[in-house]
Each structure stands twice: as structure tokens, then as C-alpha cells.
Amino acid sequence: MERPAAPCQLRLPSRHTNNTRPPQHHHPKTNPITNTINSSASAAARPAAAASRRPAVAVRAALPDGNKPKFTLPSKVDLPKVDVADVSSKVSQVGAELAKTWEKTEDKPTAVFFGAVALVALVAASSVVDAVGSVPIIGDGIELIGIGATGFFAYKYLVWPSDREQLVADVKALFAKIGL
């Protein structure tokens, strides 16, 4: 008697008629009648088979408490010290400079217009970058160019100590020029 076909599967007629099975080649340690592994081989085969089927169980069993390993942060992390009074004084200085600059501005509507145009340009540029990034090959190419530029920067400025010192000097000169 033939089994019903599974959905979306074509069932061809069997080569074997009268419900005869083809000869099966048995493992040397299996019993051909019951198709089970002999008791001497079963004890050695079961743990290996269970470990290959369920590696997570074997990992959990190897841990002392039986739980998954937990990620822990190092006990001592050196964070930079931040002086709240210094930060608040700098924020108030920046606010005072902005207020002073706003008072010196003669054509305030033009300044507001240019600020709004800059904001609209920023939003438009962001949407263009998103649109270009969604194109499969171009987005991946731009990402590859960015990775290459990052690698070049790291090699050029961060590998050798003299180059690192030059980079720090350039950044400090830029900050001095800006006034930070």
C-alpha cells in the first residue's frame, strides 16, 4: 500500500512490487532484525550523538551553575573626571557669546532666512544620502569607500608615534584657531 503524497510532491510508482523492500545494508554493530545498535556500542554512541545534536545542553552542563555564561564588565573602568561647574560655565559663556552675536546682527530677518535655508538643505542632503544609500551597489560602494578612507586615516595618522604627535598638534592648532 502506498503512502499518500505530501503536498506539492509528486509520488512515483515504486520499483518494488508486492510490498517487498530492497535489501538494506546494516552497520556491523546493528541488529538487522530489530534495527538497533548492539548494547556494547550503544553506551559509547549515545553521549556522542546527544552532544552532537544538542551542543547548547553540553555547554550548559559544563558550566558550574548550569546557566549560560554572562558578560561582565571589568571591575575598574577609568572614566574621565568631569567638572560640572566647568561645563556649566562654558555653556553659559557660549550662550552669552550667541546673545552678543545676535545683538550685533544688523539684518536679523536675513540671518533667520539663511538659518532656515541651512536647515532645509540639511534635511534635503540627508534624504539624498538615504536614497543613494538604498541603491544596492552604490550604497555598498560608498560604504566600501568609507571603510577604505578610515583605514587610510588610521594607517597614516595612528600607526607611528611621530604621526600621532603631529595629529594631536594639528588638532590643538585647529582648536586654538576656533577659540575652544
What pLDDT, in 10s, does the model give residues 70-125? Answer: 666 666 767 778 788 888 889 999 999 999 999 998 899 999 999 999 999 999 99
What pLDDT, in 10s, does the model give residues 48-57? Answer: 555 455 544 4
Give strand ranges (E) for 6-136: 30-31, 36-37
Q: What is d(CA 112, CA 116) in angstroms, rounded to the nearest whole number? A: 6
Q: Whole-number mean pLDDT of the chain?
A: 75
Q: How far apart are the first and last CA of the chain?
A: 88
DSSP assigned state of 156 = I
Q: Under 8 Å CB-to-CB from 30, ≥6 apart: which residues? A: 36, 37, 38
Q: What is d(CA 153, CA 163) in angstroms, rounded to the nearest whole number? A: 11
Give strand ranges (E) for 97-147: none
Q: What is d(CA 40, CA 29) in angstroms, rounded to the nearest whole number? A: 9
- Amino acid type, 31: N
Give strand ranges (E) for the chain: 30-31, 36-37
Q: What is d(CA 150, CA 156) in angstroms, rounded to the nearest whole number? A: 10
Q: Strand 30-31 to strand 36-37: parallel, antiparallel, or no bridges (unpaired)?
A: antiparallel
| Predicted TM-score (pTM) above 0.85 | no
Helix (H, G, I), strand (E, B) or coil at 36: strand
Q: Averaged over 18-40, what is the pLDDT? A: 56
CA distances from 116 to 113, 129, 169 (A): 5, 20, 36
